Amino acid sequence: MQTTEAVHIGADELPFIDIGDGSLLKVLQVKRGEGLWIIENIFQAGYEVEQHKHTGPVWGYTSSGAWKYKEYDYVNRAGSFLYEPAGSMHTLQCIEDNTRVWFQMYGSNVNLDADGNITSVVDGDLTLQFYLAMCEEQGLPRPNVLVE
């Protein structure tokens, strides 16, 4: 059912889960029919996401800290906006503690090993399942993620 009213989720209504070394993840919204997933991360320096490519476009906004892709020279810092077209491939590296990034993604992340072989495929639904399971495991209340 489509709503015509705005939906507000307060900053503290959805918990962050620990995804390793103090880095955190929050799932804000998943629209299964559109393949949309919106997440927020807080990364610590040294955190790295394996090389991956996207099956759909991605938008990223950095509100604090700094991170980069191994494959590029530019650094995403507070206030940076990033657009990634479908098919883009890269390896995320965090270079400052408490780097906060919001990503809006369509489709899947296809994760690759050093030889370019697929190691896993992650989409919004799988990320939501992981998020909910980790909330339970970490003793957090079940979050009311916006899911359609």
Supply the range of the domain harboring residue 86.
22-128
Residue 137 is assigned to a structural domain of this protein: no
Across residues 42-57, what is the average pLDDT?
96
Q: Which residue(s) pair with 69 in the sheet?
A: 92
Across residues 60-86, what is the average pLDDT?
97
- What pLDDT digit, counting tens, does each position of 107-138 carry? 999 999 999 999 999 999 999 999 999 999 99
Residue 116 is assigned to a structural domain of this protein: yes
Q: Which two tokens stand for residue 91?
A: 């390896």
Residue 113 is assigned to a structural domain of this protein: yes
Residue 139 is assigned to a structural domain of this protein: no
Residue 118 is assigned to a structural domain of this protein: yes
Residue 148 is assigned to a structural domain of this protein: no
Prediction pTM value: 0.93
For the chain, the first-to-last Cα distance in angstroms comes to 8
Q: Which residue(s) pair with 59 in the sheet?
A: 83, 104
Total of domains in the chain? 1
CA–CA separation, 27 vs 131, rounded Å?
7
pLDDT for 1 beyond 60: no
CATH code: domain of residue 56 = 2.60.120.10
Residue 2 is assigned to a structural domain of this protein: no
Nearest alpha-carbon partner for 125 in 18, 3, 27? 27
- What pLDDT digit, counting tens, does each position of 11-26 carry? 889 999 999 889 999 9
